[in-house]
Each structure stands twice: as structure tokens, then as C-alpha cells.
Amino acid sequence: MNKALMKAVKEYLVLLLVLGLVLITAVIEPKFITSGNMTNIMRQFGPLIMVAMGMTFVIIGGYIDLSVAGIMSLVAVVTLSLIDPIGQVGAIFVGLLIGAAAGFLNSLVITRSGAMTQAEGLFISYGMSVLYGGTALLYTGGVTNHLSYIESNYSLFTLIGSGTVGIFSVSFIIFLFLLLILYIFQNFTYTGRAICLTGGNKTAANLTGINVNRTIIIIWTISGFMAGVSSIVLFSRVTTASPVLGKGFELNAILAVVVGGTSLKGGKGSVARTVLGAMLVILLSNSMNLLGVTVYMQNVMKGLLLILAIWLDNLKGRR
């Protein structure tokens, strides 16, 4: 009985900790539960959860994707620049394509070079992030463009950024739609299972007929695509496309996945849990903001959470 309790605590400690912090805030800071603050939270939630859902697949597959920050920046600046020449729909389409293509390129470098370990994948994607970020800077000459400077109609972006359907924001509906698809993909399809098995043991998966390279390509491409979606949602809301737009998102996304309870060892996890994790990461930021904790100290908290999570993850592995 005691053992089961210990196990549950280990399993959910990070989650409980974050939840506790949020509850404390709610008690001592009444502003927390105002509708204005809730809207604020929902807005921040959209972009993060998109990247984090994509990141979940990469982490289940046994890797970590640090390139999402660079991809987000690149997608934002290119999409914005294309609104005038090819129209809104075309621009969004190309933007998403660039996201997916960047993820695909990551996976090609990884499968071609035979980078089978998490560390190798992490380094390569880190380098790719420098490359994508550099390309974004190069593309704009380092200038941040504002959506309203664009001559043509940008109603679609206004809709994504601040539109509502009933009580839900449009970005939230996009999120629900993507969650549904990814949830089904992960839990019911062959490829979804193949990703878990690959993350569990690449050698064994290969020797039982799983196409490991194909699986690796799929997870990185999903992650790139989702970074693209996130980028468009984000810059629609802030109405600017900075060439460093995505900075910091990779770490928040990893944190959301880990806080949700997906193991960094690969093989196990779920997008549904990541939704919870992302929500808590946002609530954490929000409550710390309300309590007057600086953004900088919030980073410190996040780093601590990450280390705590990996430490607990490791305890779980030992019997």
C-alpha cells in the first residue's frame, strides 16, 4: 500500500508541485481567477501547446527537438512576407510547408548520419536551429515586420489571432481539432504504435519489422509542422513576425511534455498528458507573473523543474 503511494507520488510529483503552486496563487491573488486573466492564459496556451504536441512525438520516439525555435522564427518571417505576393491562404500554406520541410530535413540528417542516440539528435537539432534562425535573420535583414504594414487584407490572421467562436477563441478550436487528430493518430494507428516501439528500443523494433527510419522521419516532420502551426498562431496574435520569434519555445515545450509525465527515456507518453503539462506550464508562468516573480526567476524555476523531472524519471526506472 505504502509502495503504491510512493509510486504514485513519484509518477505525479512534478504535476502536483505545479498544481500546488497554482492553487496557492489562486488563494493569495484574487486577480488570478478574473475572466481577463483567463483569456490571457488561453492566448498563451495556443502557441505553446502546438509545439509541445509535436515535441511529444519526438520525445516518445527517443529524441529531443531543439530546432523548433528556429523553425518558428523562419516560418513567421516567410509567411508574413508572402501575404502580399500570394495572398493569405497561400502564405499560410507555404508557411506550414516550410515547417514540415524543416522537420523533414532534420530527420534526413539524423537518419542519413545514423544518429541513433538522444544526445546525437539533440546536438544536430540544436545546430539546425542555429541554421534556421540564421536563415530567418538573413531573410529579413534582422528587421521585425508588423502585420499591419502589409498592404493586403489580413483578416484571416486577425481571425486566428483574436477571433472567437462562442466562448472559445479560434486558436483554441484549432488546438482541439489538432489534438483530436493527433490523439487518434497516436493511440489507434499503426504508426502511432510504431513510434512508441521505436522509442522503447530501436534495435529490437528494427528486428521485428518496424521501419525505424520511416518512423524517425515521421516524428521530426510532425514536430516541424506543429512548430509551423504554432508560429502562425503566435504571430497572428502578436501581429509581428520577429526573426527571433521562437526563442525559448523549445524549452517550454520540453517542459510541458515532461511535466505532463511523458518520459524523456522514450517509448511512453501521450499528447493528452502534454495538454495538461502545457496548461500547467502556462498557469505557472501566469501565477508567478501575478505574484511579481520576474521572468528571469521564472526561467530558474523552469530549469529546476526540468532537473527534478529527469531525476524522478530516473527513480521510476530503478526498481
Partner 1 sequence: MANKENDIILTMTGVVKTFPGVKALDDVSIQVRRGSVHGIVGENGAGKSTLMKILSGVYTKDKGTIIFDGETIETTTPHQAMQRGLSIIYQELNLVNTMTAGENIYLGRFSEVNGMKGTHQKAREALDRIGSDIDTWTLVQDLSVSRKQMVEIAKALSFDSKLIIMDEPSSSLTQDEMKALAKIINQLRSEGISVIYISHKLDEIFDFCDTVTVMRDGKVIDTRPVEEFTRMDMISMMVGRSIEKEFPERPRKVSTPLMEVEGIKTKKLHDISFTLNKGEILGLVGLVGAGRTEIVRALFGADKIKAGTIKLDGEVVAIRNPRDAMKRGISFVPEDRKQQGLILPFSVENNISIATLKNLYKFGILDKNKERQIAEKHIKTLKIKTPTARTAVESLSGGNQQKCIIGRWMEIQPRILIMDEPTRGIDVGAKYEIYLLMKDIVENGGSVILISSELPEVLNMSNRVLTVCDGRINGEFDPEKASVDEIMAKALGVSVEGAMA
Partner 2 sequence: MKNKGLGKTITTSIVKYKAFFAVLVMLLFMLFPRTNFYSVFNILDMLNSASILMVVSFGLTLVILAGGIDLSVGGSLVMGGILTILSMNVMPMWLAILIGTLSGAVIGTINGYIIVYHKTEPMIVTLGMSIILTGIAQELTDAHPISAEGLSFMMIGNGRIFGTIPNLVVIMLVVFAVFYVILRYTQFGRNLYAIGGDYEVAKYSGINVRREKAATYVLAGMAASFAGVLLSSKLNSASSIYGDQTALTVISGIVVGGTSLAGGVGGVGRSLVGLLVFAIMENALNMLHVDAYIQQVIRGIVIVAILALDSYDRKRRREDV
Q: How far is the CB of 304 from partner 2 (least distance, A)?
A: 6
Write the interaction track for partner 1 spanning residues 239-278; mark x where CB under 8 A is met and - where it is not. ----------------------------xx----------
Q: Are 236 and 76 in contact (CB under 8 A)?
A: no
Q: How far is the CB of 3 from partner 1 (least distance, A)?
A: 14
Residues 6 or more apart whose Cβ sits within 8 Å of residue 108: 217
Residues 6 or more apart whose Cβ sits within 8 Å of residue 162: 169, 236, 237
Q: How far is the CB of 302 from partner 2 (least distance, A)?
A: 6
Residues 6 or more apart whose Cβ sits within 8 Å of residue 164: 170
**189 touches, from partner 1, partner 2, none (C-beta below 5 to 8 Å by class):** partner 1
Of 118, 109, 44, nearest in space to 267 by CA: 118
Torsion of the alpha carbons at 308, 313, 316 and 319, rounded to the nearest 10: -100
Nearer to partner 2, 190 or 296 (CB): 296
Q: How far is the CB of 276 from partner 2 (least distance, A)?
A: 20
Of 142, 144, 155, nearest in space to 91 by CA: 155
Q: What is the largest CA-CA distance in the chain?
A: 66
Nearer to partner 1, 188 or 296 (CB): 188
CA separation for the pair 93, 229 (Å, rounded) = 10
Told to check if 181 binds partner 1 by CB under 8 A, we report no
In the 8-state DSSP scheme, what is residue 150?
A: S
Told to check if 207 binds partner 2 by CB under 8 A, we report no
Per CB under 8 A, contacts with partner 1 among 186-215 are: 188-190, 193-194, 196-197, 200-201, 203-211
- DSSP H or E stretch at residue 240: strand 240-241
Told to check if 165 binds partner 2 by CB under 8 A, we report no
CA separation for the pair 203, 207 (Å, rounded) = 6
The owner of cell 530546432 is 67
Nearer to partner 1, 133 or 267 (CB): 267
Q: How far is the CB of 221 from partner 1 (least distance, A)?
A: 18
Per CB under 8 A, contacts with partner 2 among 233-262 are: 251
Question: Using the rule CB under 8 A, which residue among 71, 115, 195, 281 binds partner 2?
Answer: 115
Per CB under 8 A, contacts with partner 1 among 130-159 are: none
Q: How far is the CB of 200 from partner 1 (least distance, A)?
A: 4
CA separation for the pair 69, 245 (Å, rounded) = 8
Q: Residue numbers of the site for partner 2 (CB under 8 A)?
A: 64, 109-110, 112-116, 118-120, 122-124, 126-135, 137-138, 141-142, 251, 264, 294-307, 310-311, 314
